[in-house]
Amino acid sequence: MSGEIVQTEIIDSGYGKKFVKLLQLRREGKIHYVKEVEVNTELTLNNHRDYLFGDNSDIVATDSQKNTVYILARQYGIQSIEQFAILLCNHFLNKYQHVVATKVYIEEAPWKRIEIDGQEHVHAYLLSKTCTRFCEIKQKRNEIPHAISGLKDLRVMKTTMSAFKTFVNDEYRTLPDVDDRLFCTVVEARWWYSTVQNVDFDKAWEGVKTSILKVFAGAPDTGIFSPSVQNTLYLAEKEALANIPHIDKIEMTLPNVHYFSVDFNRFPKLEFSGCQNEIYMPTDKPSGNIRAAIQRKPSAKL
């Protein structure tokens, strides 16, 4: 070591507890309600003496943060993950005056009531992972909370009415123009709220999900044409902003999940002319990855 004195400063810090799992069960007579969540907490203090000098006197232990999650869930319940995250942020800021910023991230397990002969069961559930709902709430001292909600792992496919052609044709291109192809992707979307006051977060989340599925699939009997993943992504984002006025900005990521036609010309001794079954080979990697974010123009904001 050279022994040179290096001048440094801490420009950001935070600590907390990750992966705090809990299941809330509420019984209302014979009808039972469940909500399972996984919570990450993070606190930022008004000093760095714990990092600089090993002085732990201001540290709210991560175990204490974990216990806080359980206690507040018991005391107040979890209506929506966004509301619970806001409750946690407010608690940490009000309880500890040396905490200057909080961040809470929550994922919700997708439990759905089991249906028997078209009727929802009163206490039996099925983990139906259509997608994962999540949220992230950030709040600084003396400021309002900022809410981000989202969904991920929403895997969708349509078998026609998707094309990709007339793209750059240079010496590196091997992909042909395609007028009709399988379109499969795994949607991840997150959106920023302009306010957290008087927002029905459950309704807004369902609204964004519905907007994505509507633009991707189109009408049930006819579908909708997609000239590119990019265009479908943009139209889905516009639909979400049009339907949920409290959302100010939305970002989506759509990776291509490729399905390549199996080349049966490699089997010249077999006859396939009368076969109507089309066979494809799923290939997740490598994949294209399409991302874009849009927001309301200033004149269009609430």
DSSP readout, 209-264?
A: HHHHHHHHH-BTTTB--BS-HHHHHHHHHHHHHHH-TTEEEEEEEEEB-EEEEP-G
Q: Does the annotation flag 84 for ligand binding?
A: no
* Residue 230 assigned as binding residue: yes
The distance from CA 261 to its chain's CA centroid, rounded to whole angstroms, is: 31
CA distances from 258 to 157, 190, 220, 289, 301 (A): 11, 24, 24, 11, 38
63 annotated as belonging to a binding site for a ligand: yes
Residues annotated as catalytic (active site), given as ranges: 17, 62, 258
The answer to whether 159 is annotated as binding is no
Specify whether the CB–CB gap between 81 and 37 falls below 8 A: yes
Question: Which residues have a Cβ under 8 Å from the Cβ of 31 and sit 6 or more positions away?
Answer: 122, 123
> Is residue 44 a known part of a binding site?
no
Look up residue 213 and give its amino acid. L
- The CA distance from 122 to 268, in Å, is 58
**Helical H runs in the chain?**
49-53, 62-76, 81-95, 201-217, 229-243
Q: Measure the CA–CA gap between 135 and 121, rounded to whole angstroms.
A: 28
For the annotated binding site, the residues are 62-63, 164, 181, 229-230, 256
Bind-site residues for O2: 62, 256
Residue ranges at the known binding site for urate: 62-63, 164, 181, 229-230, 256
Binding residue numbers for 5-hydroxyisourate: 62-63, 164, 181, 230, 256
